[in-house]
Structure 1
Amino acid sequence: MNRKLIDWPTFIAAFIILLGVVVPLVIFPEAGTEFVNKLNTFVSGNFGFLYLLMGLGVFFFLIFVAFSQNGHVKLGEKDEKPEFGTASWAGMLFSAGIGSSILYWGTIEWAYYYQGPPLGIDPSKQQLETIQWASTYGIFHWGPIAWAMYCLPAVPMAYFFYVRKKPIIKVSETLRPLLGGVSDTFIGKVVDVLFIFGLLGGAGTTLALGTPLITSGITDLTGLEDTMVLRTAILLGVTAIFALSAYMGLNEGIKRLSDFNLILAVFLLIFIFVTGPTLFISEATTNSIGLILDNFFHMSTWTEPFANFEGFKETGFPESWTVFYWAWWLVYAPFVGLFIARISRGRTIRQVIVGTIVYGSLGCLLFFGIMGNFGLYLQLTGAYDVVSVLNDQGAPIAIISIINQLPFAKFMVLIFVVLSVVFLATTFDSSSYILASVTQKEVEDGEPERWNRLFWAFTLCILPLTLMFLGGLGTLQTASIVGGFPLIFIFFLLAWSFMRASNGDLKADDKYRRKTIVLDYKKIREKIRQRRMKKKGTREQYNDETNDEKNE
């Protein structure tokens, strides 16, 4: 154990912030909730448009980078092959970026839009539009813009780690071309701690969200009562799995768990697609793709500026859903970006950008298209009233009830529960791995210290465990979203820093190549001159010898 490698100010500050969120919520739960909710209303109500513009800007910035000369840069040596195969790479980035949340929202999100549709649609008068957008909006929220936000931090971090050979994986280090020596000061520490706060909040929320879902599945399978003791045991069990995976490392633990996760997910999706309403799922998903392509810019920028005027009704949909999701992706992005950067050695920047956006969006499309439309089909045909169960008994029970409508119901619930556990584990072994990396001064051989990985694995368990007892999950989720507001500006700095560094390096390389070409040209000319002189000398010598013979 090498304690000298640890960045103790960042390590201690991150842990203090964790306690600073948990302790007040324990002592003053009602006052803390009220304060955070007011702050959230202020931020989302007054600055929601910034989140929307930021999402759209990030997407088009990355498309530009991918197909510019910067996109040709390889993350590593020029002849180096990718560290991981494409399937494993795609599986790891998807598992880290989504987790069990895709099982939760992919199955049930349509039901919320079915009751409260977007774009000012009246569900009592515009039923067809309500159904179409209920099937579509989840795919949009979990689509290209979400994965572009994940990818933006990955590009500069991977560039500095693999191209500039910096042995540090930190946001502050990535901003060094702009901040210079300021990256080593208090400001640099604040940037890193802001990232950690967002990660702790977002990760804690996902873990606390996934645990009731797993509990509902186990209750359905075993008949055990859904109690806090059972939820605590499940949370600790999942924590032990991802702690072990993180402790084993990237190749031995995280990769293998992600590969298993990918196989299980593909099996579940194929089973639902084949045994469920295959034609309806196919047509509804295709229709959703068309709606998104036709309305992409409108959906990406939709606000309700006229809601306060007479004759217009305010729905609050943009703030409650799109702004919320963009903010959630934002607080998760530095962590997912760091992880994508770490697993992308040997790939070009273009491959990282295109692969992340395409594979990530495609994976979410399959989950929402297959699982979501299966639930919608049950509702529309009257085979099962999902909406009533959701409103009366909650989302976890509604989700398990949907899975119970499949053939071999209990077996499929078991598969669903196992997949939920593995999804949670793959997300949080990645989280603890990255937290350990960020709190170190250097990452030797690409791997943070094992004890550090283990520490953060169990630390991630503290927040959701506390919140499950207090029932304050929404407060943490809201707090992490508000805390992620400064990341909008940090994202801008990350993009600027990358362009300055990569363009500078490309110019230097181009200048070196031109200089090399000039030098090579001079060398070639010199060789030609020497050969000519040699030939000339040989010819002159031959003429002299001939003249001597004639004279004799």
Structure 2
Amino acid sequence: MYKHIMDWKTFIGALMLLIFVSVPLIVFPEQGKEIVLSINDVVTQKLGILFLTVGLFLLLFLLFIGVSRYGDIKLGDKGETPEFKTGSWAAMLFTSGIGTGILYWGVIEWAYYYQSPPFGIEAGTEEAVRWASTYGFFHWGPIAWAMFAIPALPIGYMFFVRKTNVFKISEACRPVLGKHTDGFVGRMVDILFMFGLLGGGGTGLALSAPIISAGLNHLIGVPDNIVSKSIILVICTLIFGLSAYSGLQKGIKVLSDINLWLAFALLLFILIVGPTTFMTESTITSLGRMMDNFFSMSTWAEPFNNLSLFERTGFPEGWTVFYWAWWIVYAPFVGLFIARISKGRTIRQLVFGTVLFGSLGTILFFGILGNYSMYLELSGQYPVVDILNEQGAPAAIIGTLSELPIATFAIIIFVLLATIFLSTTYDSGSYVIASVVQKRVEGEPLRWNRLFWALALSVLPMIFMYLGGLKTLQTISIIGGFPLLIILPLLVWSFLKMVNGDQQQEDTINEEKAS
């Protein structure tokens, strides 16, 4: 039975790549860490500008598609209504693309920028504060969501317009790859996509477990150590494995809806009981600053700082390149998932819905969580920066929440959110990988296949936690994202070839009928 459904060559290739990467890191952790960091230096110093250029190009291309005649194309039959209501669609879209990372960075990211600001600004100054509250919106904003939406265009078009039942990145590249799609080249495209997802996904999981562990330590005294973090990862894996096993309607949709309502409840609570005026004014001001400086932020690469006359900050490589690589890693998987849940919607709805709903969600998290944390530091109520530097980000995050009224309630919601965010991202990840390693998808991927990849997704994060260090995690994302720099432009090209070819064919048929 499985012989005719499973693409065993792709399945085994992805599994072997996972083993090939994981085993050396387990056996030689220190040497593996050094190799990872050295590769990072080459990629960021020599090729970082590629990430910046591709990111800006993808956003501009996506906006063009949204306002062009292509935007009228419906992903489905004429008159077909969307499979999911807008609220559930937006919830699944947002939670699949973000994960627990937004809880980690949303609270604390500003503190890193405050201490090491961009553009050579002096740390700890008023100007550093302004940019610290701005860069989170930029790094998690329109370019990130454009990268997610790009793969959804050719995949959704092939699946719902051309009625292809193959749910693969390589299949979406068929108009460009041609006959090579079914051979070695197509298989390598799928395997590289999965390698990127496993690496970048591992980064997200490895950042999430420490937050949950720190929260449980504060609430019920669970020891905050590597053992408890490993147990948390196993439990979260079982949760999103069960969700992936249950499928879209019963598992992923339900978790996403719960997550959205919990998130809104927590953010509304903090907005009401926290420094409301400061948070709203800082958010609006920072958004204005980002829009005013969007293109300079998108293209800043410190070329003159390579010379001995200027001190190099390392900010573009350490942050913007890292984030663009992280989004690129997630892009094919999130794009596949967005395409899958967008049946019945137009391409214009997909484009602007993804960018607007996604950006709005991140604005709420950074605007409320980040600015509340910043307020505590600047007002002297809680030493966020000192705790971050001395005890680490998880302690600083939980400490920030502990300053709220009814702090126990807020931390419980926060830990629940972290767990469910983790689950909604990785159950959709396992769902997509399972789809890719099948020759065809009729309805949903096989249940055992979804469950297997849900478990496999937890292997690398466990290793990354033992390797430790934010720098190592950022580096792994950059390395995993590099091969996908080639795949995303391929998807853009494929989409244009498909829609133009079909449009020309339709115009020819109409001309023949008219004559």
Q: Which residue of 2 aligns with 1:448?
A: 445
Q: Which residue of 1 aligns with 2:50?
A: 50
Q: What is the deviation of 1:70?
A: 1.1
Change (3 A) 1:115 1:289: same
Q: Which residue of 2 aligns with 1:206?
A: 204
Q: What is the deviation of 1:303?
A: 1.2
Q: Which has the larger radius of gyration?
A: 1
Q: Which residue of 1 aligns with 2:454?
A: 457
Q: What is the deviation of 1:107?
A: 0.5
Residues 1:515 and 2:485 are matched in the alignment: no
Determine if contact 2:401/2:411 at 8 Å carries over to the other structure: yes
State the AA in 2 paired with 1:24: P
2: CA distance, partners of 1:302 / 1:505: 39
1: CA distance, partners of 2:224 / 2:398: 13
Residues 1:166 and 2:164 are matched in the alignment: yes
2: CA distance, partners of 1:55 / 1:77: 32
Q: What is the deviation of 1:398?
A: 0.4
Q: Which residue of 1 aligns with 2:98?
A: 98
Residues 1:498 and 2:495 are matched in the alignment: yes
Q: What are structure 2's unaligned runs of at least 5 residues? A: none
Q: Which residue of 1 aligns with 2:222?
A: 224
Determine if contact 1:136/1:292 at 8 Å carries over to the other structure: yes
Determine if contact 1:378/1:384 at 8 Å carries over to the other structure: yes
2: CA distance, partners of 1:395 / 1:500: 46
Determine if contact 1:306/1:312 at 8 Å carries over to the other structure: yes
Determine if contact 1:432/1:460 at 8 Å carries over to the other structure: yes
Q: What is the deviation of 1:38?
A: 1.1
How does 1:157-306 map onto structure 2 within 5 Å? 157-306=155-304
Q: What is the deviation of 1:103?
A: 0.4
How does 1:475-490 map onto structure 2 within 5 Å? 475=472, 477-490=474-487
RMSD across aligned positions (CA): 1.3
State the AA in 2 paired with 1:277: P
SS of alignment partner, residue 443 of structure 1: coil
1: CA distance, partners of 2:470 / 2:316: 21
Deviations 1:195-225 (A, max 9, x none): 0000001111111110010000000000122
2: CA distance, partners of 1:258 / 1:357: 18
Residues 1:138 and 2:136 are matched in the alignment: yes
Structure 2 counterpart of 1:320, from 315, 318, 321: 318
Determine if contact 2:196/2:484 at 8 Å carries over to the other structure: no
How does 1:17-36 map onto structure 2 within 5 Å? 17-36=17-36
Deviations 1:287-333 (A, max 9, x none): 00110111000000011111133442110000000011101111110
| Larger CA deviation: 24-33 vs 351-360 | 24-33
Q: What is the deviation of 1:2?
A: 3.2
How does 1:115-154 map onto structure 2 within 5 Å? 115-123=115-123, 127-154=125-152
2: CA distance, partners of 1:189 / 1:481: 22
| Larger CA deviation: 294-303 vs 509-518 | 509-518
SS of alignment partner, residue 383 of structure 1: coil
Q: Which residue of 2 aligns with 1:528?
A: none
Aligned-pair identity in percent equals: 57
Determine if contact 1:330/1:484 at 8 Å carries over to the other structure: yes
TM-score (norm: length of structure 2): 0.98
Determine if contact 2:95/2:425 at 8 Å carries over to the other structure: yes
SS of alignment partner, residue 290 of structure 2: helix
2: CA distance, partners of 1:20 / 1:475: 18
| Larger CA deviation: 509-518 vs 179-188 | 509-518
Residues 1:372 and 2:367 are matched in the alignment: no
1: CA distance, partners of 2:460 / 2:42: 25
SS of alignment partner, residue 167 of structure 1: coil
2: CA distance, partners of 1:39 / 1:95: 31
Determine if contact 1:14/1:193 at 8 Å carries over to the other structure: yes
SS of alignment partner, residue 293 of structure 2: helix
Structure 1 counterpart of 2:463, from 462, 466, 473: 466
2: CA distance, partners of 1:448 / 1:225: 39
State the AA in 2 paired with 1:59: L
1: CA distance, partners of 2:25 / 2:232: 23
State the AA in 1 paired with 2:45: G
| Larger CA deviation: 223-232 vs 392-401 | 223-232
Deviations 1:151-181 (A, max 9, x none): 1111111111111111111111111111111
Q: Which residue of 1 aligns with 2:333?
A: 335
Change (3 A) 1:93 1:298: same
Residues 1:61 and 2:53 are matched in the alignment: no
State the AA in 2 paired with 1:416: F
Deviations 1:127-149 (A, max 9, x none): 22111111110110000000001
